[in-house]
Amino acid sequence: MDRFHSMQLFTRIVELGSFTKAADDLQLPRATVTHAVQQLEKRLGARLLQRTTRHVSPTQDGEAYYERCLRLLTDLEEAEAVFASAGSKPKGKLRVDLQGTLAKHFLLPVIDRFFERYPDIELEIGMSDRLVDLVREGVDCVLRAGELGDSSMVGRRVASLQQVTCASHKYLAEHGTPETIDALRGHRAVNFLSARSGKPLPFDFVVDGVARSLQLKGSVSVSDADAYVACCAAHLGFIQLPRYHVAARLDDGTFCEVLSPWRPAPMPVSVLYPHHRQLSPRVRVFVDWLADVMGRAD
């Protein structure tokens, strides 16, 4: 195995914390991976990895070598991207994790257009709302809704989605329609649990340009967007979410929006990827495609 491929292999072992996972990721025999690392350590005259029965982690020398490898591999990818012929197409496997409702509503219905443009890219798609360790899990990029909280990642905003506060028509017929934010305090809500804290998210409003939050009591809390809407449809109280997710119910009168003059700020949608992946041709074209599709979202 040449030095370039040895560096590639070493970085994947560090990122995935496993010889076996790195072997699977790079489609190499486990014995080849073990032998390559032994030869690398012998050539450098340093122990790079600490091995336990459950995990592999870099030594101090290994951490320093890993950082150098990342810079060299990134420089190489940048050079190839700059000097590649104009007619060449990115190819290879790309691992992405997409927020489920966004993927189902906006992306998956038109995913065939991506493959028409880039037939040599193989997509491995996960769908979740959880916090993903992109480096350790070998994920190239994620699509997420909400404010960005991880400064170690490169973030690109691709959409801003209008949000609404609504309840079922039957709930409002039974409990009345609040005309002010203060009047909402006496009502029930379906609470949505934060993926970060596990606590219910407040209802947000913008009054004269100033953000205002309100926590409502409720009989049920959920952590899934479809369950959130289903509980609202079961007349359990108010919900607050991007309009696209309930547009059909608002249009047919099943759900009714309230307090529209004080809607919350639009929800940002962003793509996140590690710094060392920002120049990868595969990542770049996929992020550009996401931005194009989500840029038409409403």
What is the CATH code of the structural domain delimited by 163-265? 3.40.190.10
Which residue's structure tokens are 């599709």?
293
Provide the whole-model pTM.
0.70
Q: How many CB atoms are closer than 10 A to CB 94? A: 21
Q: Angle formed by the axes of helices 3-16 and 19-26, to 10°?
A: 130
For the stretch 168-204, pLDDT in tens is: 999 999 999 999 999 999 899 999 998 778 899 999 9
Q: What integer pLDDT is reported at residue 85 of this predicted model? A: 47
Residue 248 clears pLDDT 90, i.e. is over it: yes
Q: Rounded CA gap, 173 and 60, in Å? A: 66
Provide mean pLDDT across the span 130-158. 75
Is 3-83 a domain of CATH 3.30.300.90? no
Length of the chain, in residues = 298
Q: Domain 92-159+268-294 belongs to what topology? A: D-Maltodextrin-Binding Protein; domain 2 (3.40.190)
Residue 84 clears pLDDT 60, i.e. is over it: no
Q: Rounded CA gap, 103 and 61, in Å? A: 41
Cα–Cα distances in angstroms (integers) from residue 183 to residues 54, 125, 216, 264, in the given order: 55, 43, 11, 17
Name the strand (E) or helix (H) holding 297.
Answer: none
Please check whether the two domains, 92-159+268-294 and 163-265, share a CATH topology.
Answer: yes
Provide the residue ranges of all domains of the chain, joining segments of one domain with +: 3-83, 92-159+268-294, 163-265
Q: What integer pLDDT is reported at residue 83 of this predicted model? A: 58
